[in-house]
Chain A
């Protein structure tokens, strides 16, 4: 049995202007110790997918369809009361912007202990001991549980966030842009740390990022999202070497590659569609160079084009064959 299986997940937001189909039928699975990268432009539904899995959607959002199977147990239809047994104990999230995610007037140790006390029912003294050992795990001396967030550097705060996410020995950790606001050297330290912990605890890891260049060296699998859908999903090497979706192709070319010549990237013309009125057919069609009449009328289905390699494009062969 897989650790996590997401099947046809749909999360919609109901707002005054209408319904936003933020996540519109995505499917993927994740094994123990495996890392999956979710990548795409802002507003493509990466974060909403993560929030759906952990059931912490804002009140406008709702999972309208699909299954989220964690070791065979469906989380999608659970009530608030039922889910609290799994949230943080089995699925935890490490958020973007560690600078703002910690409470500035509470000691670090108390903030970590809070999660332990709530989810594992430990007493304060035991919980603080656990907090200290968690800090050690992320290479921060345990005695610093009595410090306040302002006494920590940006990289250390992000490590505290990771410690907090690890507090209840989760089976899956989701990192929502965990290194975006950090310096390159600190980013490398954090990624090293996450990889070490992942193999140590055989934990599933979902990395959400807009930085495609990071994913090849961090993740086993990559899912590229566009307008609420997964347009291509494959093993990391295949995404780069056998790129089959025009959006993936363009996105890869947006990142400079120092091993190749200095070529100014083309960029992707146009903007992502308005999520309130997604056009008929393929959502990427207005920005696509390989667009044909069929693309404007019929939305392509995700089809298998290689071993564990799925693409939703009518003309994928054109891209795959260069």
Chain B
């Protein structure tokens, strides 16, 4: 299948200025990850806060400086010129987490939805702009569209706001969308409507999603492939059922084990990992997960495990997985 994105050894390092003469530090937000996303696929990045999920999404959209061995969008290198980036950004869009903050409170819905058309000079006449905004809103489940044109974001509920955000991303008919926790701010009853909407767009237009979430059960529900991130590294990649039912990496196993299952009582204590995630400015030798791993070996603290394929499409970075 054709790939929409291919990434090899992506790194995003932020240099922190030393304050009051203290030592300069580097935050390795993303530290060498490789993956590929097929066309029309939903690819989920799951991990705790600070694991580098959002930074990865931003790097793919060329929003933060990064280094890598290879990054191909639809098989081609993304041109790093003004025109090249403009063309790329028409095809790749982002949906942010918090619809209460990602909409300009002083803009009317019509202006928010049609802004991409104006910025990219894609609309010739006012009628065309209105018509396309109306269609975009109605496709996002806000019918009749013209009723919402002259409202302000504060007049809409959280779910409606997120629909406006989606309408303004989808009006460009993108090939690739980064959805950064698109439902985590919404009530459970509204969540499913937004997810269904995203899946409807995938069926109709073949758009691929990079879905960023901390909720493993949600990732399982909607995605084809899941990558588990920890401290800037991918620990395990596999199709969603393998991650839930046949995980190999101890971190993935721990996440699956503590996942609440509706309607099921728990016998005894939750099996939580000891300690906390190390500071991302600390230099960690060997495997990044070593300090919290329940089954770590001496080797883990010295040498970093490579990503190996345990079965087709299922990759793990753990010494224990080596035969």
Binding site for B on A (CB under 8 A): 41-42, 153-155, 183-189, 191-192, 195-196, 210-214, 216-217, 236-237, 240-241, 250-252, 254-259, 262, 264-268, 271
Contact = CB atoms under 8 A, between A and B. Distances in A.
Interface stretch (B92-100, B255-263, B294-302): B255-263
Q: Is the interface of A mostly helix, strand, loop or mixed?
A: helix
Nearest to B218: A256
A245 B211 CA distance: 33
Interface stretch (B3-11, B145-153, B174-182, B189-197): B189-197
Contact of A267 (B189, B259, B260, B266): B189
Given A185-B254, A259-B261, 12 more contacts: A41-B188, A186-B48, A188-B272, A195-B269, A212-B188, A217-B265, A236-B265, A252-B263, A254-B188, A257-B261, A262-B221, A264-B195
18 contacts: A155-B276, A183-B49, A192-B272, A213-B261, A216-B263, A216-B264, A217-B260, A251-B188, A252-B262, A254-B192, A255-B217, A255-B262, A256-B218, A256-B220, A256-B221, A257-B217, A258-B217, A267-B191
Nearest to A220: B265
Contacts of B196: 264, 267
B244 interface: yes
A252 B260 CA distance: 13
Contacts of B220: 256, 258, 262
Contacts of A255: 188, 217, 262
Contact of A184 (B222, B240, B258): B258
A271 B157 contact: yes
A268 B265 CA distance: 25
Contacts of A240: 262-263
Contacts of B269: 192, 195-196
B320 interface: no
A206 B244 CA distance: 31
B260 A216 contact: yes
B214 interface: yes
Nearest to A217: B266
B273 interface: yes
B187 interface: yes
Contacts of A153: 276
